[in-house]
Structure 1
Amino acid sequence: MVRNDIVYEDTTLRDGEQSPGVAFGRDTKIAIFTALRALGVRWMEVGIPAMGGSELAVIRELLERGSDLMLIGWNRGKLDDVVQSLDLGFRAIHIGLPASDVHLKHSVGRDRGWLVEQARTLIGVAKDRGAFVSISAEDVGRTDPSFLIDYAGAVKDAGADRLRLSDTIGILSPSRYAAVVASIAKAVPIDLQCHAHNDYGLATANTLAGLEAGARYFHATVNAIGERAGMADIAQVALCLRDFHGVDLGLDLTQLKALSDLLARATGHAPPPWHPVVGDNVFAHESGIHVKGVVRNANTFEPFDPAEVGGTRKIVIGKHSGTEAIRYVLREQGIEADAGELRQCLGAVREFAMEEERALSAGELVAIHRRIASEAAVA
């Protein structure tokens, strides 16, 4: 069962920006921050102070603008990083540390003993400064289960407020990720956070599975951006939590489409039209049977109202359209066509779509109708 005190922490400005080829300048980063605030996000991972330079300057500005929010600074598992974030004024920090032997050996060149001692030291420094401390168990999919429980106990005893269970390369199935979360939740009284990557397309499913298994916090991004194949998508997770579990995250869901469009411009990559919730095709209908149903009762082929997420319903004229769609679009253009004209328009539309290999604009449909009506008048 999903808890009633779930906390969404957005990481669009940190993990999201780590999408290969993506970089947010000052104005873009502030625009995204402002839009996330308008959405209702109260917890945000806003960047990596250790990057320095212009990134550090904009982080300082975000800390000033978001003094009423819980902003998290991300740090490597290094003392200098942690001290820098604390000196900047972060009230909450995250410490990134690997837990699997694969990552310990090949990423940082250390062993389990070093990990536990380093975690204890860094947590102690941050707690002495009064910070909320989140710490990772990175690569949980390849971490020895018994060691993971020992590690969770060690960071809890050291004072950590939260343990982030990172499926760093997205190799867990929902049932396996849920089992990891459940095993820690049963053994150690520490808040857990889901951080799921999308390499197998399971990030949203894994996040939901982790929350169902007892995690309190979760990470997601706008448009599912992030390292490699990205992360869980906040639009998808929010709708699933609302409609499947009755959980209200306190977000203004009508902002989702506009926020998605903002990130599309910022990254230079729009989500595909069939991207759930915010994709351009989610509320677009072309096939004859679908259009007939939607025109009569929208919920016949729409699981939720487009207005709920800031979307717009569209009737598309193309190869698979029927006369009902043609009638609908012509009426929107102020044209009332008779049954014969509709049948002729349908044939012309299908030939046009096949030849051009695309849908038609409303103007092109009007032109077809005008030609057919003109020919009929001459005859």
Structure 2
Amino acid sequence: MKYYVSPFNKEAKLKFPKNITIYDTTLRDGEQTPGVCLGTPEKLEIAKKLDELGIHQIEAGFPVVSQQEKNSVRSIVNENLDAEILVLSRTKKEDIDVAIDCGVDGVITFMGTSDLHLEHKLKLTREQALNVCMKSIEYAKDHGIFVAFSAEDATRTDLDFLKRIYKKAEEYGVDRIHIADTVGAINPQGMDFLIKELRSHLKTDIALHCHNDFGMALSNCISGLLAGANAISTTMNGIGERAGNTSLEEMVMALKIMYGVDLGFNIKVFYELSRLVEKHTKMVVPHNKPIVGRNVFRHESGIHVDAVIEEPLTYEPFLPELIGHHRRIVLGKHSGCRAVKAKLEACGIEVSKDELCKIVEEVKKSREEGRYINDKLFNQIVKTVRGPVDL
């Protein structure tokens, strides 16, 4: 058995859509994280690894931003990956032309629809905004590509206007509408209400682009899927503007293990992909980050270690090998004899019971003095207790 979650999960009778699309925006919204700038080689390497994962769609960038960005998108397109390649586009003809020139499979065209955005950013009336959006959708559709329309700040938009603009987009042939929770302002119950309201008026696919300002991005996506949405926007390691976006690895693993919805991804590459994104963005993954954090499969507490050595699933919901991660027993203040003995055995060292107890005592003492128990220090401790050894 590679994972073991609560049997009570199955008691909740939930119904997810038959087909769920994950479109990853690490290379677009992820790169909009302050301080992050990805060159073409870096974008290409991440795109290839996302494709190895089996991602459905890659939002490769915002090509109108610069010539290099355009070149990056072109390079990804030219790799002929299995994933569809999408890009972001404002509701402007010139943006769409640049996207088409890159050879992409589709565009995500967007405009702010909340009164906040219309009044303070765009200086447009609702009617003006609606007309601009429809013209851009019509123009893009005329070029035979996939077209998604995203209402920026949708979760703070007047509901009647939101229904109207999405319905109009549907009538203009849009392939998917996107709900952008731009500042993470909705909660799971609000998302449930919103999706059900929209689903009663729309037949087209509904995607969710959730930000994590209140730590609810993943929950909002799960709630939205159960209410009738069928596409999710993600980023690897959950990077993105401010508090980031829905985490790709959390989304996929939650669906697979917690809800029994397997999207068929090659999840063994998750840890490698996480480290790759960390390397190229220079955004260090928090040690306690769910799924891919370094501490997720690290154990120090003696009680925990004893059990994990016997059966890892006692303190792990799934085995690390499932995502290409690895387990590590860490020695420190809370370590017991079992953990230290396992470390010694791994090094091929036999000690007496008294020597083992003394080594454990020295390990605890050293850690409490502020020293991290690495191999070098452990070697010194063992030498002090029983003489020279070769670790």
Q: Structure 2 length as normaliser, TM-score?
A: 0.92
Are the structure 2 counterparts of residues 138 and 243 from structure 1 closer, same or farther at C-alpha, using a change threshold of 3 Å?
A: same
Matched, 1:209 2:227: no
Residue 381 of structure 2 aligns with an amino acid whose one-letter code is I
- Which of the residues 10, 17, 23 maps onto 1:3? 17
- Which of the residues 285, 290, 294 maps onto 1:276? 290
Alpha-carbon shift at residue 83 of structure 1 (Å): 2.5
Q: Secondary structure at the residue paired with 2:112?
A: coil
Q: Secondary structure at the residue paired with 1:97?
A: strand
- Which of the residues 7, 12, 26 maps onto 2:26? 12
Structure 2 equivalent of residue 372 of structure 1: 385
- Which of the residues 234, 240, 243 maps onto 1:220? 234
Alignment of 1:320-331 (within 5 A): 320-331=334-345
Alignment of 1:50-199 (within 5 A): 50-66=64-80, 68-199=82-213
Structure 2 equivalent of residue 31 of structure 1: 45
Residue 126 of structure 1 aligns with an amino acid whose one-letter code is A
Matched, 1:239 2:253: yes
Structure 2 equivalent of residue 265 of structure 1: 279
Are the structure 2 counterparts of residues 68 and 328 from structure 1 closer, same or farther at C-alpha, using a change threshold of 3 Å?
A: closer
Q: Distance in 2 between matches of 1:161 and 1:190?
A: 7
Deviates more, 1:108-117 or 1:83-92: 83-92
8 Å contact 2:155–2:179 — kept in the other structure?
no
Q: Distance in 1 between matches of 2:159 and 2:256?
A: 32
Gaps of 5+ in 2: 1-14
Q: Distance in 2 between matches of 1:76 and 1:41?
A: 24
8 Å contact 1:91–1:130 — kept in the other structure?
no
Q: Distance in 1 between matches of 2:383 and 2:18?
A: 58
Matched, 1:48 2:62: yes
Structure 1 equivalent of residue 11 of structure 2: none
Give deviations 1:316-357, integer Å, cap 9, x for gaps. 00111111111111111111223222221121111100112x
Q: Distance in 2 between matches of 1:161 and 1:256?
A: 29
Residue 278 of structure 2 aligns with an amino acid whose one-letter code is A
Alpha-carbon shift at residue 223 of structure 1 (Å): 0.7
Matched, 1:306 2:320: yes
- Which of the residues 346, 359, 373 maps onto 2:372? 359
Q: Secondary structure at the residue paired with 2:36?
A: coil
Residue 39 of structure 1 aligns with an amino acid whose one-letter code is L
Residue 363 of structure 1 aligns with an amino acid whose one-letter code is K
8 Å contact 2:234–2:247 — kept in the other structure?
yes
Alpha-carbon shift at residue 67 of structure 1 (Å): 5.9
Divergent runs of 4+, >4 A:
none
8 Å contact 1:4–1:247 — kept in the other structure?
no
Give deviations 1:136-170, integer Å, cap 9, x for gaps. 11112211122211222111111111110000011
8 Å contact 1:330–1:366 — kept in the other structure?
no
User: Number of matched residues?
Assistant: 374
Q: Distance in 1 between matches of 2:356 and 2:285?
A: 35
8 Å contact 1:163–1:192 — kept in the other structure?
yes
Give deviations 1:59-118, integer Å, cap 9, x for gaps. 112111136431112101212112222233223111011111101111211121112111
Residue 85 of structure 1 aligns with an amino acid whose one-letter code is A
Q: Distance in 2 between matches of 1:279 and 1:69?
A: 26
Are the structure 2 counterparts of residues 132 and 22 from structure 1 closer, same or farther at C-alpha, using a change threshold of 3 Å?
A: same
Gaps of 5+ in 1: none
Q: Distance in 2 between matches of 1:59 and 1:230?
A: 22
Q: Distance in 2 between matches of 1:102 and 1:343?
A: 66
Alpha-carbon shift at residue 249 of structure 1 (Å): 1.9
Q: Distance in 2 between matches of 1:363 and 1:324?
A: 20
Alpha-carbon shift at residue 174 of structure 1 (Å): 1.6
Residue 365 of structure 1 aligns with an amino acid whose one-letter code is F
Q: Distance in 1 between matches of 2:83 and 2:358?
A: 60
Structure 2 equivalent of residue 286 of structure 1: 300
Q: Distance in 1 between matches of 2:81 and 2:354?
A: 65
Q: Distance in 1 between matches of 2:331 and 2:24?
A: 38
Matched, 1:251 2:231: no
8 Å contact 2:51–2:82 — kept in the other structure?
no
Q: Distance in 2 between matches of 1:220 and 1:343?
A: 49
Q: Distance in 1 between matches of 2:337 and 2:200?
A: 59
Alpha-carbon shift at residue 49 of structure 1 (Å): 1.5
8 Å contact 2:70–2:102 — kept in the other structure?
no
Residue 383 of structure 2 aligns with an amino acid whose one-letter code is R
Q: Secondary structure at the residue paired with 2:60?
A: strand
Residue 386 of structure 2 aligns with an amino acid whose one-letter code is A
Deviates more, 1:305-314 or 1:87-96: 87-96
Q: Report the aligned-residue RMSD.
A: 1.5
Residue 213 of structure 2 aligns with an amino acid whose one-letter code is D
Residue 384 of structure 2 aligns with an amino acid whose one-letter code is R
Q: Distance in 2 between matches of 1:22 and 1:78?
A: 26
